């Protein structure tokens, strides 16, 4: 058995060191060279700006060339247009801006963009064939890239990963169609026919026919906005494993609520862990009351400890028998402990999926709660606390104390690369637990 | 299948349990109970009984000695 433990720990350690030293790189998918796409050039641009974004439209071809989302400081398009009208791409347009509309005219052809709330753009055009170049897959980092998909909705959402787009992928009919990266998406909110999607120059490109009067969404993947537009859009946001999804939703929306009060997601996480602590504190309080009663039966237990000092299992059983007789129990139970697990998983999911945490700073050195602590200060603090805990804790046998210490160190390796926000949650939860113990001991158990 | 699930629980007992605070109010502990319960009643009923035990293992319950 001991040898098994040793092998396991070695394997575990090597595995985690490996993933830390050699993080998986996004696959570099080469696009087919036989496909040639001409990207229309644009010399003069029309600017339109509102509270949320800044748009640049090319006079030639009348396509949207640049889309800068102010809140997230992200350019969604790069050098490619979001889409072009196949039969209008060489036309030179005259323009007029009135209110939230940009009207482009060239002889009998016209394109009207109406920039509405919730990142929706209404389009009325004299052409119904479009080619979309998708959103910029190289948005800042590889993380965005890894999650770029071609998506379409027909009865349910279908996500097509880049490797399946090396040869053209056909969809006869779709209610919605678009492309997404990790944090942003472009979705045409009208039905489209004869669609074809493929990969070119690392971009997801799709084309098809639609009603010349249509609307599209270009903006963050935000379930709150999606809900307002169309319920069917909501599943584009990933709530995670279905058992934990309700927890993710609670966390997501309560974080937004808390953020409107404190304006810093680091403090939101600390407040959240305090809330969880307070919710469970009546339960912990119960076990402290029990501890007070326990003092009275301590002599009995000490007697047992002498009798069964060579048989820890029997000792544990006998102690519990006395607890049962005296109707006290100092343990708070497994349920309060296990309930942490879904909270933990859901928090992880929200941290890595929600755009709210993208580059969300805390204080001092924590500049992005969704990625790892650059100096590993939080995980090291956390490990110190858990080490202390496993050293202080009376355990059944020496072996398990040793494993506890080793596992604390193994967990350090895991936590090193975890999102800083998650480690912050666990750290502040542990600190609140210590504080809670202190308060109970000092104020509630006095003079018992 | 049975052995895989029991293996997971044993894994938890061996490696994860030591870093968590002692908290079980029962004898046998919830993880031991789960193993015994699966061995006695089979996977489905055994797991359900084990989960029910974890739910019962909270400060409001009395705790004590409780075999599956």
What pLDDT digit, counting tens, does each position of A372-382 carry?
777 888 888 88
Most confident of A268-277, A360-369, A396-405: A268-277
**Whether A40 contacts A61, CB under 8 Å:** yes
Confidence band of A34 (pLDDT split at 50, 70, 90): very low
B26 at interface of A, judged by CB pairs closer than 8 A: yes
pLDDT over 60 at A334, yes or no: yes
Distance of CA B25 to CAs A276, A333, A390, Å?
22, 5, 19
**Whether A168 contacts A197, CB under 8 Å:** yes
Confidence band of B37 (pLDDT split at 50, 70, 90): very high
B33 at interface of A, judged by CB pairs closer than 8 A: no
Q: What is the largest CA-CA distance in chain A?
A: 102
pLDDT over 60 at A426, yes or no: yes
Task: Note the pLDDT of residue A17.
Answer: 67
In chain B, what residues touch A5 (CB-CB under 8 Å)? 14
**Whether A443 contacts B55, CB under 8 Å:** no
In chain A, what residues touch B56 (CB-CB under 8 Å)? 335
Give CA A101 to chain center in angstroms.
35
pLDDT tens column, A100-124: 888 888 888 888 899 988 899 998 8
Task: Note the pLDDT of residue A19.
Answer: 64
Task: Note the pLDDT of residue A135.
Answer: 82
pLDDT over 60 at A26, yes or no: no
List residues of chain A with CB under 8 Å from any CB of chain B.
Answer: 5, 8, 283-284, 286-287, 290, 316-317, 320-321, 323-324, 327, 329, 331-338, 386, 389-390, 393-395, 400-401, 403-404, 407-408, 411
With CB atoms and an 8 Å threshold, state whether B65 touches A320: yes
**Whether B57 contacts B22, CB under 8 Å:** no
CB-based contacts of A379: which residues, under 8 Å, 6+ apart?
A373, A412, A415, A416, A418, A423
Mean pLDDT taken over chain A: 79
What's the distance, Cα to Cα, between the start and end of chain B in Å?
20
Tokens of A128: 């119904």
Tokens of A255: 């974080």
pLDDT tens column, A427-448: 888 888 888 877 877 776 554 4
Any bridge partners for residue A184, and if so which?
Answer: A220
pTM over 0.95: no
Give CA A319 to chain center in angstroms.
45
> Which of A293, A317, A333, A400 is the best mutation test for B, with the most CBs of B within 10 A?
A333
A302 vs A398, residue with greater confidence: A302
The residue-averaged pLDDT of A331-337 equals: 79
pLDDT tens column, A38-53: 666 667 888 899 889 9
Task: Note the pLDDT of residue A33.
Answer: 43
Q: A131-161: buried (b, 16+ CB within 10 Å) or exposed (e) per residue?
A: bbbbbbbebeeebbbbbbbbbbbeeebeebe
Tokens of A5: 């433990």
Nearest to A271 by CA among A130, A64, A131, A428: A428
Taking the C-alpha atoms of residue A138 and residue A148, their distance in angstroms, rounded to an integer, is 10
A364 vs A394, residue with greater confidence: A364
Count CB-CB contacts under 10 A for residue A198.
22
A7 vs A34, residue with greater confidence: A7
């Amino acid at each position: 058995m001991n040898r098994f433990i040793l092998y396991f720990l070695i394997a575990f350690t090597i595995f985690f060191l490996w993933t830390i030293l050699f993080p998986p790189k996004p696959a570099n998918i080469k696009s087919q060279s036989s496909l040639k796409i001409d990207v229309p050039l644009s010399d003069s641009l029309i600017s339109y700006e509102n509270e949320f974004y800044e748009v640049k439209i090319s006079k030639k071809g009348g396509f949207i060339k640049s889309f800068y989302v102010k809140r997230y400081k992200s350019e969604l398009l790069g050098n490619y247009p979001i889409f072009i009208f196949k039969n209008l791409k060489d036309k030179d347009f005259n323009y007029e801006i009135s209110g939230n509309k940009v009207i482009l005219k060239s002889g009998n052809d016209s394109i009207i963009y109406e920039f509405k709330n919730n990142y929706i753009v209404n389009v009325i055009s004299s052409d119904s064939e479009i080619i979309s170049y998708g959103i910029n897959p190289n948005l800042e980092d590889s993380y965005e890239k890894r999650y770029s998909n071609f998506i379409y909705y027909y009865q349910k959402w279908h996500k097509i990963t880049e490797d399946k787009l090396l040869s053209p992928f056909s969809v006869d009919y779709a209610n919605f169609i678009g492309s997404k990266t990790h944090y942003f998406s472009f979705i045409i909110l009208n039905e489209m026919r004869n669609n074809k999607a493929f990969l070119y120059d690392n971009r997801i490109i799709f084309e098809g026919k639609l009603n010349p009067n249509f609307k599209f969404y270009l903006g963050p993947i935000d379930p709150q906005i999606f809900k307002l537009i169309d319920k069917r859009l909501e599943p584009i946001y990933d709530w995670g494993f279905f058992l934990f999804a309700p927890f993710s939703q609670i966390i997501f929306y309560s974080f937004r609520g808390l953020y409107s009060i404190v304006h810093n997601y680091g403090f939101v996480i600390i407040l959240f862990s305090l809330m969880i602590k307070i919710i469970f504190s009546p339960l912990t309080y119960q076990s402290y009351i029990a501890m007070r009663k326990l003092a009275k039966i301590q002599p009995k237990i000490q007697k047992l400890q002498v009798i069964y000092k060579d048989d820890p299992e029997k000792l544990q059983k006998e102690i519990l028998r006395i607890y049962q007789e005296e109707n006290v129990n100092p343990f708070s139970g497994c349920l309060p402990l296990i309930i942490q697990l879904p909270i933990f998983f859901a928090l992880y999911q929200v941290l890595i999926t929600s755009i709210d945490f993208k580059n969300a700073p805390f204080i001092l050195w924590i500049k992005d709660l969704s990625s790892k602590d650059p100096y590993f200060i939080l995980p090291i603090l956390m490990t110190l606390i858990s080490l202390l805990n496993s050293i202080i804790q009376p355990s059944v046998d020496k072996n398990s104390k040793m494993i506890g210490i080793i596992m604390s160190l193994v967990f350090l390796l895991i936590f090193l690369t975890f999102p800083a926000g998650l480690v912050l949650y666990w750290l502040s939860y542990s600190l609140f637990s210590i504080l809670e113990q202190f308060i109970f001991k000092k104020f509630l158990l006095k003079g018992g | 299948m049975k052995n895989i699930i029991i293996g997971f629980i044993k894994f938890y007992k061996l490696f994860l349990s030591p870093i968590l605070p002692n908290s079980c109010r029962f004898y046998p502990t919830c993880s031991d109970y789960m193993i015994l319960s699966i061995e006695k009643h089979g996977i489905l009923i055994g797991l359900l009984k084990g989960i029910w035990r974890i739910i019962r293992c909270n400060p409001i319950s009395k705790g004590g000695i409780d075999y599956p």
